[in-house]
Amino acid sequence: MTRTFLAALLLASTVATPALARDRKPPAEPRAKNVILFIGDGMGIATITAARIYDGQKRGETGEENQLSFEKFPNVALVKTYNTNAQVPDSAGTASAINTGVKTRIGVIGIGPEATRGVCSEALAHQLPTLGEEAKARGLSVGIVTTTRITHATPAAVYAHIADRDWESDTNIPAEQRGQGCKDIAQQLVDAKFDLALGGGTAMFYGKNLGGRRADPAADLPAAWAARTGGVVVKDAAGLAAAPMGKPVLGLFNPSHLNYMVDRKPDTTEPTLTDMTAQAIARLKGDKDGYYLMVEGGRIDHAHHEGRAGYALEEAVEFAKAVQYAVDHTDPKETLILVTADHSHVFTIAGYPVRGNDILGLVVPPPGGGDGDHAGALKDGDPTPALDGKPYTTLGYANGPGAVKGERPVPQTGLKAQQQSLVPTGAETHGGEDVALFATGPGAPRAHGVIEQNVIFSIMRKALGWEK
């Protein structure tokens, strides 16, 4: 009797369980209505650490305990940045990977790795669709914000497909590659579908009669764009603030890149990165279908190339402010915010400085000494000497324009200093180590572990519900 009962029970459970399983649907994943991708160009982990300290010290804190806005995000991953043909990447290949989902060669934008850099016909044959193009096709608004020229590699990866990142204007295309159907990046922007594009690079859009460098002396690409789209072209912060909300906006605020934050004058007419981010969110949020916004803090990278850490850190702090603005002015239930870098730099933090030591100053060890050659042998407050008897800074570079020739001088310190470097190069180079990805909002938990850079593309598409 007992055996019969147990057998019946087991049979009932095996029959019933599949039906119950079919009825028990997994909870639907939250979808993002909007995606904001922040790219701190060249913002490697050492830059984040130094910027965190610098930001805190600006407020009178020791700095090490500080957190930048995006460091508070709950989801973090490490991102592998190599290009298909380069161990240490450039911004064109990396930004293309993020915006197309395909890793590609160094120096090309929006085209596959099969295409050779600088060959127009191959670029035309291997174009890759971008997230921005898909967003427009699906009815979303698209915005691009940068502190560089809007035709520079990272912003261009949102909308362009080109064989060489340097083809920003038609005069940049080599004579042997002209007439084959390849448009320069500025032309591609005004031909693209976007709702907002803000940055520098005026010279790429006009002929010499209007202060530009296009082949046609009378060229005026922004005017042609405005006539075709009904959009508004603005040239300063006041014009941007006054532009009507219901129309596309093209903002070009400098002939080249926007000025560094350190060099901004009180009477500047240029908007800050936070200003542009605020305008972008205000203008894009009205789209009921949502938006994709890419925001680049591009001059972090440029300052590192010059070996000027203080400039880079000031740009990074402004970048973090722009991220905080986005956090404060979007709905966390409907907006995925990602913060990452396209690549790192050969930037170091070293030397056993005391807690709270000026991050832009000389290495001063803790009272009683730090570690290394002079542990315990210095008076409290004295900087640590190198083996040449001279002090050195906490921040430095493995290569760059600050390399020492002959006898090493006492290094510069402070916000405008050029840090010393080891190997003499005309410009400091990128670094090849992984960078961080920080995420918050719908789909953010997918940012975890160590991932390939092109996976960021899938994280965004999955959050929007376009990919399983």
Strand 34-40, strand 141-149: pairing: unpaired
Q: Are 432 and 87 in contact (CB under 8 A)?
A: yes
Taking residue 85's Cβ as centre, other Cβ atoms within 10 Å add up to: 15
Query: Of 4, 7, 33, 47, which Cα lies nearest the Cα of 428?
Result: 47
Strand 291-297, strand 34-40: pairing: parallel
Please say if 91 is a catalytic residue. Answer: yes
Indicate the SS3 state at residue 417.
coil
Question: Tokens 């203008």 belong to which residue?
Answer: 283
Which positions ≥6 away from 211 have C-beta within 8 Å? 202, 203, 255
Question: Tokens 């000031």 belong to which residue?
Answer: 314
Catalytic residue among 69, 91, 141, 169: 91
Q: Are 354 and 367 in contact (CB under 8 A)?
A: yes
Indicate the SS3 state at residue 291.
strand
CA distance 217 to 197: 24
User: Of all helices (H) and strands (E), which one includes residue 451?
Assistant: strand 450-452
How does DSSP assign 357-378, residue by residue? Answer: --TTSB--PPTT--SSTTTT-S
Residue 147 amino acid letter: T
For the chain, the helix, strand and coil percentages under 3-state DSSP, each to the nearest 5: 35, 20, 50
CA distance 82 to 15: 52
Residues in the chain: 468
Question: Tokens 């240029």 belong to which residue?
Answer: 270
Catalytic positions: 91
